[in-house]
Amino acid sequence: DSGVTQTPKHLITATGQRVTLRCSPRSGDLSVYWYQQSLDQGLQFLIQYYNGEERAKGNILERFSAQQFPDLHSELNLSSLELGDSALYFCASSTGRITDTQYFGPGTRLTVL
Amino acid sequence: AQSVTQLDSQVPVFEEAPVELRCNYSSSVSVYLFWYVQYPNQGLQLLLKYLSGSTLVKGINGFEAEFNKSQTSFHLRKPSVHISDTAEYFCAVSKRIGTGGSEKLVFGKGTKLTVNP
């Protein structure tokens, strides 16, 4: 158990819909990262938050947005969903530096029908 | 541009045999290198990382990796594998984003290690 929790574990929805994925970091970690894992793209970094503020942005689509709340949990919002958004979405947490170990949650599997 | 190439998508081995999972990276600047493991239906877990210093890095579960700057490689090795090592292994390299000083991890496509009895 990494100490990072993600809900829900599975999500099935239709094209055009909007969903919210939630992540709670390990106790003491200030930074949250979001990743997308798909068969064709592999594991892609989406975005990083540190203590409530956006720190780094990766290959995140404009239809996707995220935030980190004062209690440090984070939410990833995916809107206008397309079939190609079907993937595993991972959240990871760390103390914040790139050299620090990132602890991954179990992931949310999103299926868009 | 920094990228990571994992040369083998699948590696089957027998139990107690040695294994090497290959990783090459491309970068013109100093980087940090990582190996993560993903067991079936789980998130990723750090095996080991190279930040600086000794080029031989020891990790968890008996794995080790050697940083070779001249060959831009960071191969993962284990002298004797167990059935429980069956998993997908990802090599990752740090990459600077823009000019603001932020960084991200760039992952390879992964190598599926299957250990057979």
pLDDT in tens, B14-48: 999 999 999 999 876 778 999 999 998 889 999 99
Q: Which chain B positions have a beta carbon within 8 Å of A106's beta carbon?
A: 41-43
Q: How far is CA A74 from the centre of its chain?
A: 8
**Residue B70 to residues B24, B28, B29, B77: CA-CA distances in angstroms?**
11, 11, 12, 19
Strands B56-58 and A87-94 come out as: unpaired
**Residue A39 to residues A36, A44, A63, A86, B104: CA-CA distances in angstroms?**
10, 11, 21, 10, 21
Q: How far is CA B99 from the centre of its chain?
A: 27
Q: Reduced to 3 states, what is the DSSP secondary structure of residue A24?
A: strand
Q: Which residue has the higher pLDDT, B61 or B41?
A: B61
Closest among A70, A63, A74, A73 to A15, alpha carbons compared: A63
Q: Is the pLDDT of residue B101 over 80?
A: no
List own/partner pairs for A43-46 with CB under 8 A and 24 or more apart: A43/A90, A43/B44, A43/B90, A43/B107, A43/B110, A44/B107, A45/B104, A45/B105, A45/B106, A45/B107, A46/A76
8 Å CB contact of B104 and A104: no
Residue A73: pLDDT band (50, 70, 90) is very high
Provide the pLDDT for residue A19. 98
Distance from CA of B44 to the nearest CA of A (A): 6
Question: Nearest-CA residue of chain B relative to A106?
Answer: B43
8 Å CB contact of B104 and A99: no
Distance from CA of B33 to the nearest CA of A (A): 9
Q: Which residue has the higher pLDDT, B3 or A92?
A: A92
Distance from CA of B101 to the nearest CA of A (A): 9
Residue with tokens 């600047």: B29
Q: Which has the minimum average pLDDT: A56-70, B21-35, B72-86?
A: B21-35
Provide the pLDDT for residue A12. 98
Provide the pLDDT for residue A64. 97
- The CA-CA-CA angle for residues A23, A29, A35, to 5°, reads 45
What's the mean pLDDT in B103-112? 92
Q: Is the pLDDT of residue B8 over 80?
A: yes
Average pLDDT of chain A, as a whole number:
95
Q: Could you count the other beta carbons within 10 Å of the beta carbon of residue B117?
A: 6
8 Å CB contact of B104 and A2: no
Close Cβ partners of B41 (under 8 Å, ≥ 6 residues apart): A106
Q: Which chain B positions have a beta carbon within 8 Å of A55's beta carbon?
A: 102
Q: Is the pLDDT of residue B56 over 90?
A: yes
8 Å CB contact of A48 and B104: yes
Q: Is the pLDDT of residue B2 over 60?
A: no
